[in-house]
Amino acid sequence: MLVAMSGGVDSAVAAAMLSEAGYDCIGVTLRLVPDRPGRSLFEPCCGLEAAEDARRVCAQLGIPHEVLHAAAHFDETIIAPFVSEYRAGRTPNPCVWCNRRIKFGALYERADALGAEYVAMGHFARREYRGGRYALRRACHRDKDQSYVLAALEQEQLRRAVFPLGMCSKDEVRAYAARRRLVVAARRESQEICFVPDRNYAGFIEQREGPAAPGPILDLSGKILGAHRGLIHYTIGQRRGLGIAAKRPYYVVRLDPEQNAVIVGHEEECFCASFTVGEIIWGALPPQRAPLSCRVQIRSRHEAAPAMIHPGTPDNHVRLRTAQRSVTPGQWAVFYDDEDYVLGAAMITGFTPEPICPNPA
């Protein structure tokens, strides 16, 4: 079994659990940046320090370890599209694409070369077999659930995926690591995008491709309220940093790349009751044509809301039972049933803001 080793405590415990259970394991660490002296741009999960920590854990466990260099593939497949999407006024989620194309793509190719049937990850999620299909399910402990960023995996990818931590809490993982005296037991975890560790997405993009063009800030009627620094500096739902003096705060409602404009509105104008998505990657359900009731999660930290999917149209339509804030093109909509199985997932492609009172009397 190939175990993806990031150098963190979660993947270390996944490897230790599988090794302890008697599986023949090999740890593989992805190197997603070119080797160069000094601090790596990618920290903490893709740099030299992380690779060394993974090697030390494997040595403790008595299993082989290797490093898989995939910098060029990562740049072409993840970073370049991320930059392109941001410049086009969308807000992509590179972690979803990385899991689909790199972690469950390049690592699967390496697993084939090593003769490994399965690929294990330190993600908090469950994989089950239900109704003739492989189904992703939320982790037992919802506060650490990572099924949202795994939801774009297809059936063949899920067939070979193993998630040893799906039944565990983070405290249990830490306790196991301490009990086994793993060298990464106390290592902190990161919540950032690995190639933008300081969360300055606009700065990263400008460093890579140069400054973005400034343009107008408009209200929903088209009135000019101010000027923006470039679309890459803004995202839907943003309130701070707009530089607009007003009696009531404005929020970013939409980004318009054709006009190079930031469209803003007041809080009640930030709600959305319906949106469209691209191709649906079906999970626990086979491809559907009839309308389907579900719960939809529209961001990694969003609480899934009741909705109805209308698949099979040119733009798959999603109608929310209760309007939500900050529906964002480029992010993913993940559809769950009431038992926390992932029914499917798709990227959000468009929406129409609908003024709604957030606290009706």
Q: Is 294 a catalytic residue?
A: no
Q: Find the length of the chain.
A: 361
CB 90 within 8 A of CB 131: no
Residue owning tokens 């002296």? 37
Phi, psi of 64 (to 5 degrees): -65, 155
Q: Is 272 a catalytic residue?
A: no
Catalytic hit among 25, 46, 95, 194? 194
Catalytic hit among 58, 98, 270, 272? 98
Residue owning tokens 């990263």? 204
Exposed/middle/buried for residue 36 (C-beta within 10 Å: 0-12, 13-18, 19+)? exposed
Residue 32 is given by DSSP the state -
CB 29 within 8 A of CB 40: no
| Structure token pair of residue 117 | 């049937």
Q: In degrees to the nearest 10, what's the CA dihedral of 204, 210, 216, 221?
A: -60
Residue type, 40: S
CA 10 to chain centre: 17
Q: How many CA atoms are closer than 13 Å to the CA of 298, on its beta-carbon side? A: 26
Give the residue numbers annotated as catalytic, written as ranges.
98, 194
